[in-house]
């Protein structure tokens, strides 16, 4: 077989050097240059990679002398030197397929059964010509036969063409290269090349058998006319023999005919009997079918009757009202000890009503008279229980609150401020929380009157607690009244300089909010959950309502055992939230009057307390973010507006006091309200808390504007000394506000405004002096 240019001695030596470098003792049988591709890559313009396929064998020392066959893939490094890339064992080779898309037939695929990912397309190997392909595939075939004892599956390869190619190329085998590579490889090469067409198609023994078989059918056929004459003679002889035989057997034929007639009579009789039996059997079959049909109908009827009885038993079980539940629903007590039985009765009633509705009940039962009667009976039970439970709860709320109002120990008394404690009230109400939930599921309309009754009763308690607490708070706070006239000229200097500390008034207001704002938020939250409003929680669990909530309050609604109430995932429903806010208005309405009374009381003692009260209110207001606590936020908004209004009255009055200085036209020197404003501003800065800075800055702006406008009017009343009056007062304003202007941005602007006005007045006065001196000089 002629050696291909793809397989030469140098190539095998290079492969041996690449493989032997790792200490491998393998004999290279064949090495051939190929191109590696994947089909789709070449369509995308990718170039196939050059590779070398080498068939090798190795002795297995651990298992005697049995050899192993390998297929090695070698690639070229960046320096053009071969190096091992992959190693395949021929025992895993299952298929050799020639790619049909290649018209040259030089591209093939080797399929192995031990690849990690069978979903990945195996590589395609392309040789230079058909001879190289046939040599490689022939070597693979022979190695698999000799070493492995089996051959892989060949697809797309003509075996006859392969055998012819082997026969044509066998005489030109060159075995020198094999001798140089070693005796093992040479023997393998010579042995593998002895392949013939007969070995792959028909063996010699089979061919000899076929020739012997065909020899038995030799009939000595020569000329066609002689053969035809022979056949005619044999046919005439055969006909003559048949006629002679018939004439000799006439008596036998008559006997046979008589026997046939007798047999025909018997057959006719038998046929008649069979017809009779067939008719009888048909009638019997019809009778059996009729009996089986009736039997099947009876069995079906029996089964249907049993199923019907079972269904009726189940329906009767649904329609049956347990006596203990009927007693609880119609006349049972609502005491705390019997609430568990009442709740169980409610749960049964709810389930019974739902079980008789069409989604849970087969529609064929919906129109039955018994079902309709039972539905009416359950509806009557429901109405009776809802009426009794609603009446009990209304009376219970009223009696519970009335008991607390009649006990003075629940409220603040003279000399003792009492923090409202509703823990016992809520504990008693929680006893009936599950009852309210079931009432809602039975009749949603019954909650309206119950909510109104609860709001009316609790509103009386909250207003009484707020009134008593506010009265005692004002009575227990000791603070002397500060003057409300700060900037009027007739006021003595001792009146503004000796103002007393009124921080206790602000502390009293803060205490009022600290006690009652969390209480109102908690009451709102408890009311929403207790009365089954489907809204989210007001305040997240554990979060204070105002940022400074005292944990010892004991009135946290989040701790209430109302976890059984399933809140709607979209509970922020506008209609439900509107109903809740209306109910909260009824619950808390009127309590704002006591807060207003505390604000008015604090204003009368010291108007500047409005600054600190405004900051306190703003801090509480920023903590109320939940939509459901709308009334509490509205209350704080109203308080903030009232405090701002009161402080605005004080600022307006101060402006009027400044404007009264215009009446005293003949004023020289520093006006009285200039230093008094500095004292007032210092005092106002002491009251600033939280977000009250804007309120004070607005007051500063209005007062300074009024002061400067009044100063300009007074200075213009005497043009001769106008600049002197302005210089003195602006200088006094700057001196008195120098320290405050460094820390208060608004006063810093006023300070710069006064400085500019001072410079302008100074410039005018100097120009006037120069002008007068010029006249005297003339």
DSSP 660: G
Give the Å distances, CA to CA, from 738 to 321, 623, 678, 681: 89, 37, 9, 12
Could you tell me which of 670, 692, 690, 687 has the C-alpha nearest to residue 736? 670
Residue the block writes with tokens 């903030």: 640
**Residue 534's pLDDT is what?**
76
Q: What is the spatial distance between Cα 647 and Cα 654, in angstroms, rounded to a whole number?
A: 11
Tokens of 27: 């004999």
**Residue 550's pLDDT is what?**
41
Tokens of 364: 């064929």
Please give, one letter per residue, the 3-state secondary structure of 222-289. CCHHHHHHHHHHHHHHHHHHHHHHHHHCHHHHHHHHHHHHHHHHHHHHHHHHHHHHHHHHHHHHHHHH
Average pLDDT over residues 469-480: 80
**Residue 175's pLDDT is what?**
41
**Residue 600's pLDDT is what?**
87
Average pLDDT for the chain: 76
Element (H, E) at 348: helix 339-355
Q: What is the spatial distance between Cα 646 and Cα 652, in angstroms, rounded to a whole number?
A: 10
In terms of pLDDT, which residue wins out, 411 or 126? Answer: 126
- Sheet of 82-89, strands arranged across: 82-89, 67-76, 49-59, 27-37, 124-126, 107-112, 93-98, 153-155
Q: What is the spatial distance between Cα 632 and Cα 628, in angstroms, rounded to a whole number?
A: 9
Per 3-state DSSP, the chain is made up of helix, strand and coil in percentages (nearest 5) of 65, 10, 25
Q: What is the spatial distance between Cα 161 and Cα 149, in angstroms, rounded to a whole number?
A: 23
Handedness of CA 142, 144, 147, 149 (dihedral sign): negative
Q: Give the torsion through C-alpha atoms of 360, 361, 362, 368, to 10 deg.
A: -160
Please state which of the ranges 152-156, 245-249, 359-363 shows the lowest mean pLDDT: 359-363
Residue-wise pLDDT tens digits, 78-137: 888 888 988 988 888 989 999 888 888 899 999 888 776 566 678 899 999 988 888 998
Tokens of 665: 């036209």
Q: What is the spatial distance between Cα 391 and Cα 574, in angstroms, rounded to a whole number?
A: 29
**Residue 9's pLDDT is what?**
83
Tokens of 44: 């995308």
Average pLDDT over residues 493-518: 72
Residue-wise pLDDT tens digits, 266-287: 999 999 999 999 999 999 999 9
Average pLDDT over residues 466-478: 84
Residue 72: beta bridge partners? 54, 87
Average pLDDT over residues 168-188: 47
First to last CA, the chain: 143
Average pLDDT over residues 500-527: 84
Look at the chain and count its residues: 778
Helix (H/G/I), strand (E/B), else coil: 403: helix
Q: What is the spatial distance between Cα 322 and Cα 340, in angstroms, rounded to a whole number?
A: 16
Average pLDDT over residues 414-436: 80
**Residue 180's pLDDT is what?**
42
Per-residue confidence band for 564, with pLDDT thresholds at 50, 70 and 90 = very low
Give residues with Cβ within 8 angstroms of 82, minimum separation 6.
Answer: 14, 15, 17, 18, 52, 74, 75, 76
Assess whether pLDDT exceeds 90 at residue 288.
yes
Q: Read off the pTM.
A: 0.52
What is the phi/psi pair of residue 53, to 5°?
A: -100, 125
**Residue 281's pLDDT is what?**
92
Assess whether pLDDT exceeds 80 at residue 46.
no
Average pLDDT over residues 319-330: 71
What is the phi/psi pair of residue 153, to 5°?
A: -80, 130
In terms of pLDDT, which residue wins out, 556 or 768? Answer: 768
Q: Give the torsion through C-alpha atoms of 404, 410, 414, 416, to 10 deg.
A: 180
């Amino acid at each position: 077989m002629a050696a291909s240019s793809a397989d030469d001695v140098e190539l095998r030596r290079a492969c041996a050097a690449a493989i032997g470098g790792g200490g491998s003792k393998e004999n290279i049988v064949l090495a051939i240059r190929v191109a590696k591709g994947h089909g789709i890559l070449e369509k995308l313009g990718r170039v196939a990679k050059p590779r070398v396929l080498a068939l090798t064998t190795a002795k297995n020392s651990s298992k005697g002398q049995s050899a192993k066959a390998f297929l090695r893939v070698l690639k070229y490094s960046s320096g053009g030197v071969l190096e091992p890339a992959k190693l395949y064992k021929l025992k895993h080779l299952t298929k050799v397929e020639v790619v049909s898309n290649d018209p040259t037939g030089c591209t093939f695929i080797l399929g192995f059964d031990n690849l990690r990912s069978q979903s990945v397309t195996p590589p395609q190997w392309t040789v230079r010509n058909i001879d190289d392909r046939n040599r490689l595939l022939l070597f693979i075939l022979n190695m698999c036969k000799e070493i492995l004892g089996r051959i892989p599956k060949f697809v797309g390869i003509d075996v006859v063409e392969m055998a012819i190619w082997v026969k044509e190329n066998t005489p030109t085998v060159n075995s020198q290269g094999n001798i140089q590579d070693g005796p093992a490889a040479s023997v393998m090469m010579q042995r593998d090349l002895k392949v013939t067409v007969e070995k792959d198609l028909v063996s010699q023994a089979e061919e000899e058998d076929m020739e012997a078989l065909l020899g038995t059918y030799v009939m000595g056929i020569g000329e066609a006319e002689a053969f035809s004459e022979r056949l005619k003679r044999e046919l005439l002889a055969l006909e003559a023999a048949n006629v002679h035989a018939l004439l000799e057997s006439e008596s036998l034929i008559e006997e046979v005919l008589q026997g046939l007639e007798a047999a025909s009579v018997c057959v006719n009789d038998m046929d008649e009997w069979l017809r009779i039996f067939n008719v009888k059997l048909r009638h019997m079959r019809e009778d059996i079918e009729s009996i089986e049909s009736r039997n099947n109908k009876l069995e079906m009827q029996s089964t249907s009757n049993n199923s019907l009885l079972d269904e009726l038993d189940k329906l009767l079980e649904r329609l049956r009202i347990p006596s203990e539940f009927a007693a609880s629903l119609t006349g049972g007590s609502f005491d705390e000890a019997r609430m568990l039985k009442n709740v169980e009765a409610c749960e049964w009633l709810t389930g019974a009503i739902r079980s008789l509705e069409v989604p849970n009940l087969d529609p064929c039962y919906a129109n039955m008279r018994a079902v309709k009667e039972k539905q009416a009976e359950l509806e009557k039970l429901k109405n009776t229980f809802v009426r009794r439970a609603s009446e009990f709860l209304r009376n219970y709320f009223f009696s519970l609150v009335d008991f607390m109002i009649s006990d003075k120990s629940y409220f603040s008394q003279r000399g003792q401020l009492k923090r409202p404690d509703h823990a016992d009230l809520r504990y008693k109400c929680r006893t009936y929380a599950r009852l309210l939930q079931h009432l809602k599921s039975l009749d949603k309309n019954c909650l309206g009157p119950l909510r109104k009754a609860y709001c009316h009763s609790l509103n009386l308690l909250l207003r009484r607690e707020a009134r008593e607490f506010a009265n005692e708070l004002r009575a227990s706070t000791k603070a002397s009244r500060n003057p409300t006239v700060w900037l009027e000229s007739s006021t003595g200097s001792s009146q503004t300089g000796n103002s007393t500390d009124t921080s206790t008034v602000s502390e009293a207001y803060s205490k009022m909010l600290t006690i009652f704002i969390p209480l109102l938020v908690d009451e709102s939250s408890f009311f929403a959950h207790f009365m089954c409003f489907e809204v989210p929680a007001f305040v997240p669990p554990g979060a204070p309502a105002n940022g400074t909530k005292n944990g010892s309050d004991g009135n946290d609604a989040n701790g209430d055992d109302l976890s059984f109430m399933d809140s709607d995932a979209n509970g922020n429903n506008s209609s439900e939230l509107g109903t809740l806010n209306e109910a909260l208005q009824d619950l808390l309405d009127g309590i704002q009057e006591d807060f207003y009374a505390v604000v008015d009381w604090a204003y009368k003692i010291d108007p500047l307390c409005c600054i600190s009260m405004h900051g306190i209110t703003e801090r509480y207001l920023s903590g109320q973010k939940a939509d459901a606590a709308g009334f509490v936020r509205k209350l704080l908004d109203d308080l903030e507006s009232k405090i701002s209004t009161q402080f605005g009255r004080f600022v307006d009055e101060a402006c009027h006091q400044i404007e009264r200085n215009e009446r005293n036209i003949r004023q020289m020197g520093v006006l009285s309200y200039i230093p008094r404003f500095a004292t007032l501003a210092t005092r106002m800065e002491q009251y600033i808390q939280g977000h009250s800075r804007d309120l004070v800055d607005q007051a500063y702006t209005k007062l300074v504007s009024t002061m400067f406008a009044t100063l300009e009017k007074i200075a213009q009343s005497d043009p001769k000394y106008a600049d002197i009056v302005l210089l003195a007062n602006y200088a006094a304003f700057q001196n008195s506000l120098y320290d405050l202007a460094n820390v208060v941005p608004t006063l810093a602007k006023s300070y710069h405004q006064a400085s500019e006005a001072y410079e302008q007045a100074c410039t005018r006065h100097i120009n006037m002096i120069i002008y007068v001196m010029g006249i005297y000089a003339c």
